[in-house]
Structure 1
Amino acid sequence: MLKIKSYQAKMMLAIIPTVVLGLLTVGTVAYLGINNLIEHELSKSMLTATGQTAATINTWLEAHKLEPETMATTLVSSTTINNDFTQIDTQNMNWYKFLDKKYPGFYQYVYAVNRSGDFHTAQKKGSDYVIVAGNLKDRGYFKAIMAGGSTQITPPLISLSTGLPAVFMAAPIKDEHNIPQGVVGTAISLTTVQQIADSLKFGTTGYGIMIAADGTFIQHPDKEMVMKKKITDTDQSTGELGRLMLGGSPGIYRYTVNSEKKIAFYHPIPVTGWAIAATMSETELFAPQATIMKTLGIALGVVMAVLLTVIWLLARRLSQPLKALVGYTQEVAGGNLANNFIETKSQDEVGRVTTAFNDMTKSLADLVRHIAQTTEQIAAASEELTANADESAQATQQIAGTINTIAAGSENQLNVVTEATLTVERMSTGIRQVADKADAVANMAEKASHTAQNGTHSIESAIMQIAAIEQAVTTSAEVVKQLGENSKKIELIVETITDITGQTNLLALNAAIEAARAGEQGRGFAVVAEAVRKLAEQSQESAKQIADLVHHIQSDTDQAVLAMMKGTSEVAAGTEVVHNAGQAFQEIVSLVDAVSVQIRENSATIQQMAGNSEQMVSAVEKIEEISKDTAGQTQSISAATQEQSASMEEIAASSQELAKMAADLQKAVSCFKI
């Protein structure tokens, strides 16, 4: 497992994935919501537009169906149509001129048919109005009407009079017994119907198609298919579209033609059984989704780049002082105490640690410098002491030789006194050594007292640092608590948005009701009101999602506050433990001071005993002088010279050991660079 040692890397590794994941989640949710909303609204709008066009055609056909019905009841006589067309031709010509003037190029002609199928048309040829005759007894719509059927709107047919495609509106001419005696009707140019269907062209790839009840194309961008081919005879996917169009219900159909994904919005025309559809490329229809996705991606990329830059700069700024501190600490650990001073103006925890490091380095350098100087002095003194001890030892040996020669004659006489003198001298020497050791113990006790006092100061510094940490944790808890308060404010704002969307939804519903009351004129407004209502519902749902997110944030914030409070209590407990340790150190200092006082008192007592032992030596020497001055003096000198010789040897050995210790200490101090 990879171990990350850099504080900056750890910090960025903890923050960056969370930020990136959060941004990607928000972007994905936003894109999916917007994508679904746009697709739904576009599809609904296209289907509505197709339905409006179908309704327009249906209303248009219904309206023009009234014209032959009016003619059949008011202008044409059921008794004369089967005898003579003269009167009927005059009436039809007048009617055609009226219609041609009102709707130029709209009607091909007006015609009447007797029960034998003979017809006369009133039409325009060039600039002249003419009557054209013929027979249409084989037409299916004629047979249906003569069999008792009602007014017929035919599928597109080729006119027997003009040879052009047309839609025929035909109504029965009935006698007083309601029996059909003939037919009167109008021939409407197919171009007029095609123009209405062609208005369904959306975008650059879209186009409108219209099919008759049998599937024959009435309108198609490929004119070779109009009136010549049925939609059900095309490819499989287009044929399925035709079957859906003739199903009698509006709908949306997605299909593929030549590897291109397309979408069709179809709607029936009830009055004729026809159907109309608007079809276009899905890529073009949903192009706004791609634009929104691109814009959203760019925005998320910019935000992510800015956040990553800020995080990097923040992590770098926080870790830079620590890197410098680590570098200087490694130099100090290597013994370099020269110029290891870190400049800092920060007052936070890192700044305080840096200041403490500077103080510690300075104190350590002063201590090493003092030890080095003291060691040099000790080395010099030990060398001088060794030289003096050697000289004294040589002189003492010479004196001892002379005294031994003089005292040879009186050695037996003074054995007892000599033994007593030696015993007292050894006792005095032992007492002196005990006194020296007592002084050494007293010095060690003082050093222990100073060390304990330094430990007390360190404990006090630790208490102050823990107090600072406790304050920082408390401040963090307040910040997290404030975050919880802000999330509650956001929740209030979300509730306000929810109320507004609810009111908007209600207003949209009222607008839709008013539009329904307005009838055909309010249909467009009803579509807009419905769209507004849907958008309000979407906004209300989004507000609900935001509210859920805010609740999660509040829950996480409460947990963070509890964690901060627990951390504060743990820090307080740590402060109490360190405080107790400080008190223990103070008690140790008191005890060490008391022991030091007692040792000093014992040392004074031992010094006094040493003085008394010296007095005993003097008394013994006086006894020797009394017993025999010459022998006593000789023996005393001999003993003194022997003792001095032994002392000089001990001093020489001790000075050599001291010189060795001073050299070792100088070698240790030389590792530091000050």
Structure 2
Amino acid sequence: IVVYYLGKPEAIKTNHELAEIVAKKTNQALIRWLEEQIRTAQTIARDPRVVDVTLSPADPQKRAAAQQFLSQMHALHPYYENIPLAIKFAEDQTISIDVQGDQKVVGNGNFFIDTVGGKTIGKCGPQFTYIKNVFAGKPYFISEVYPSILRGNPIFVVAAPILHHGQIIGATIVAPRMDYFTEYFVEKSVIGTTGYLSMIDQDGMFISHPQKNLILNPKGRDLVQPVMDKIAAGESYFLSDFAGTPKVYYVEKLTTAQFHMEDSWYIIFCRGYDEVLAGVFAFLFKTFISMLLVAVAVTLLVYFLTRSLISKPMDKLTVAADCVTNGDLRVKIDTGGSLNEVGVLSRSINNMTQSIREQTIKIREAVHTLNATAT
């Protein structure tokens, strides 16, 4: 019990240090990765082919040149869902874009070119957070995680303004898929058998989790609500339940203060409470086995010492006593100079036997003298 209560705080402290390292390293890697996405979006936005097609979105030659460039960029970044361009128009201004024989109406904030075969042309709009913020003058903007308008799978968007002579004429969008995001940042960060990373947004929605079915799933938000309550209370390292299982959590926050982004994201490292304390239990087991072995060794030592110091001498005493009982007074016990109780008793028996032997000799001599006198 003492070992358990002494070892438990140390195990929790060690896990805290490990969790902090994993979460902070992941946070740093995530920051660098987001910065890379921002640079990519801004690089695309500055390309002359992108600027030209945004100025003349219906020009076939300019569309072909921009389409080729965007497709090449998409091939270099296969984890993007799409790389579309959005146009900035007056509220009532529209154009018509031919998409494989189908005329798509494109207005302010709509996509007018993409890298998915025109499937998203005419979609999006100024009400989307990333379009609204970029058109308002932000140098870039990172959206919330939301279902893709193409396939419904979870994505987020990094948008950058397309400028011409300092004026915003449109926006470049890159859309990383969350499944890649999860594989890159979450699934590779497994510690032990129960330790893993996940990410939630400020609304308590999973945006990355090893169980991908929990991403953007309201059921996941219900499961993580106790964790969100702890975060809201200002705690960063705590014990909480997840689906009925006690887990130890460490939380690292990626805030909107670091980036132009819609939501704050939380990087969460969690590990099963039982696994955290497994080291203590293992130590207790080893301690128990060690103590058991020591106890057995001590018992055997006491046994052999007792047998050597007491049992064997007592056996000699018993044999000597039997000899005396049978009339053999020549027996003498070897005490070996022992000063313990058995040695003292052995010498006493030797003295007693010697005394009896001497008395017997005297009696025999007296009897012999009497017999001689009588004769």
What TM-score comes out, normalization by structure 1 length?
0.44
The 5 A counterparts of 1:404-419 are: none
Q: Which residue of 2 aligns with 1:189?
A: 177
- Assess, with a 3 A threshold, how the Cα gap between structure 1 residues 89 and 162 changes in structure 2: closer, same or farther: farther
Whole-Å separation in 1 of the counterparts to 2:62 and 2:176: 20
Deviations 1:326-357 (A, max 9, x none): 7689889xx95933534326233258643564
- Assess, with a 3 A threshold, how the Cα gap between structure 1 residues 182 and 245 changes in structure 2: closer, same or farther: farther
The RMSD of aligned alpha carbons is: 4.0
**Which of 62, 83, 91 pairs up with 2:35?**
62
- Assess, with a 3 A threshold, how the Cα gap between structure 1 residues 215 and 336 changes in structure 2: closer, same or farther: closer
Q: Which residue of 2 aligns with 1:152?
A: 141
> Are residue 241 (structure 1) and residue 230 (structure 2) matched?
no
Equivalent position amino acid for 1:94 in 2: Q
Whole-Å separation in 2 of the counterparts to 1:85 and 1:315: 106
Whole-Å separation in 2 of the counterparts to 1:88 and 1:158: 31
> Which segment is superposed worse, 64-73 or 263-272?
263-272
Q: Which residue of 2 aligns with 1:103?
A: 77
Deviations 1:35-74 (A, max 9, x none): 6555533442233123222322221111111122233344
Q: Which residue of 2 aligns with 1:120?
A: 112
The 5 A counterparts of 1:32-431 are: 37-75=10-48, 81=54, 84=57, 86=59, 89-90=63-64, 92-115=66-89, 116-125=108-117, 132-161=121-150, 163-174=152-163, 176=165, 178=166, 180-195=168-183, 196-229=185-218, 233-235=221-223, 238-244=224-230, 251-270=236-255, 271=259, 273-320=264-311, 323=314, 338-339=327-328, 341-344=331-334, 346-350=336-340, 353=344, 354-355=346-347, 357-371=349-363, 374=366
Whole-Å separation in 2 of the counterparts to 1:119 and 1:308: 85
What's the offset of the Cα at 1:305? 0.4
Deviations 1:178-197 (A, max 9, x none): 55443222122222212222
Contact kept in structure 1, 2:162 and 2:172, CA below 8 Å: yes
Q: Which has the larger radius of gyration?
A: 1
- Assess, with a 3 A threshold, how the Cα gap between structure 1 residues 327 and 260 changes in structure 2: closer, same or farther: same
Contact kept in structure 1, 2:85 and 2:111, CA below 8 Å: yes
Equivalent position amino acid for 1:346 in 2: G
Equivalent position amino acid for 1:212 in 2: D
Contact kept in structure 2, 1:113 and 1:119, CA below 8 Å: yes
Whole-Å separation in 1 of the counterparts to 2:322 and 2:50: 124
Which has the larger share of strand? 2
Whole-Å separation in 1 of the counterparts to 2:234 and 2:86: 33
- Assess, with a 3 A threshold, how the Cα gap between structure 1 residues 352 and 163 changes in structure 2: closer, same or farther: closer
Give the match's secondary structure for 1:70: helix
Whole-Å separation in 2 of the counterparts to 1:346 and 1:174: 109
Give the match's secondary structure for 2:217: coil
- Assess, with a 3 A threshold, how the Cα gap between structure 1 residues 264 and 187 changes in structure 2: closer, same or farther: same
What's the offset of the Cα at 1:153? 0.7
Whole-Å separation in 2 of the counterparts to 1:342 and 1:281: 73
- Assess, with a 3 A threshold, how the Cα gap between structure 1 residues 94 and 214 changes in structure 2: closer, same or farther: farther
Whole-Å separation in 2 of the counterparts to 1:96 and 1:245: 41
- Assess, with a 3 A threshold, how the Cα gap between structure 1 residues 266 and 326 changes in structure 2: closer, same or farther: same
Contact kept in structure 2, 1:267 and 1:275, CA below 8 Å: yes
Whole-Å separation in 2 of the counterparts to 1:186 and 1:380: 139
What's the offset of the Cα at 1:100? 2.4
Contact kept in structure 2, 1:55 and 1:269, CA below 8 Å: no
Give the match's secondary structure for 1:320: helix
Equivalent position amino acid for 1:121 in 2: I
Contact kept in structure 1, 2:23 and 2:252, CA below 8 Å: yes
- Assess, with a 3 A threshold, how the Cα gap between structure 1 residues 134 and 337 changes in structure 2: closer, same or farther: closer
Whole-Å separation in 2 of the counterparts to 1:318 and 1:179: 104
Which has the larger share of helix? 1
Whole-Å separation in 1 of the counterparts to 2:229 and 2:48: 41
Give the match's secondary structure for 1:279: strand
- Assess, with a 3 A threshold, how the Cα gap between structure 1 residues 225 and 123 changes in structure 2: closer, same or farther: same
What's the offset of the Cα at 1:152? 0.5
Whole-Å separation in 2 of the counterparts to 1:301 and 1:122: 72
Give the match's secondary structure for 1:137: coil
- Assess, with a 3 A threshold, how the Cα gap between structure 1 residues 138 and 76 changes in structure 2: closer, same or farther: farther
Whole-Å separation in 1 of the counterparts to 2:26 and 2:233: 18
Give the match's secondary structure for 1:305: helix
- Assess, with a 3 A threshold, how the Cα gap between structure 1 residues 205 and 139 changes in structure 2: closer, same or farther: same
Contact kept in structure 1, 2:209 and 2:215, CA below 8 Å: yes
Give the match's secondary structure for 2:214: coil
Give the match's secondary structure for 1:188: coil
What's the offset of the Cα at 1:310? 0.4
Give the match's secondary structure for 1:218: strand
Contact kept in structure 2, 1:245 and 1:275, CA below 8 Å: no
Whole-Å separation in 2 of the counterparts to 1:179 and 1:212: 33
Whole-Å separation in 2 of the counterparts to 1:122 and 1:328: 109
- Assess, with a 3 A threshold, how the Cα gap between structure 1 residues 72 and 323 changes in structure 2: closer, same or farther: same
Whole-Å separation in 2 of the counterparts to 1:338 and 1:219: 97
Whole-Å separation in 2 of the counterparts to 1:268 and 1:76: 38
Identity of aligned residues (%): 17
Give the match's secondary structure for 1:108: coil
Q: Which residue of 2 aligns with 1:569?
A: none
Equivalent position amino acid for 1:347 in 2: G
Alignment: residue pair count: 345
What's the offset of the Cα at 1:118? 2.6
Q: Can you give the 5+ residue segments of structure 2 that lack an aligned partner in the other structure?
A: 90-107
The 5 A counterparts of 1:432-443 are: none
Whole-Å separation in 1 of the counterparts to 2:132 and 2:343: 108
Q: Which residue of 1 aligns with 2:101?
A: none
What's the offset of the Cα at 1:169? 0.7
Whole-Å separation in 2 of the counterparts to 1:355 and 1:67: 102
Whole-Å separation in 1 of the counterparts to 2:233 and 2:50: 40
Equivalent position amino acid for 2:334 in 1: T
Deviations 1:294-352 (A, max 9, x none): 233223211220122102221232223664587689889xx959335343262332586
- Assess, with a 3 A threshold, how the Cα gap between structure 1 residues 244 and 54 changes in structure 2: closer, same or farther: farther
Contact kept in structure 2, 1:132 and 1:161, CA below 8 Å: no
Whole-Å separation in 2 of the counterparts to 1:285 and 1:358: 68
Whole-Å separation in 2 of the counterparts to 1:248 and 1:183: 37
- Assess, with a 3 A threshold, how the Cα gap between structure 1 residues 189 and 85 changes in structure 2: closer, same or farther: farther
Give the match's secondary structure for 1:66: helix
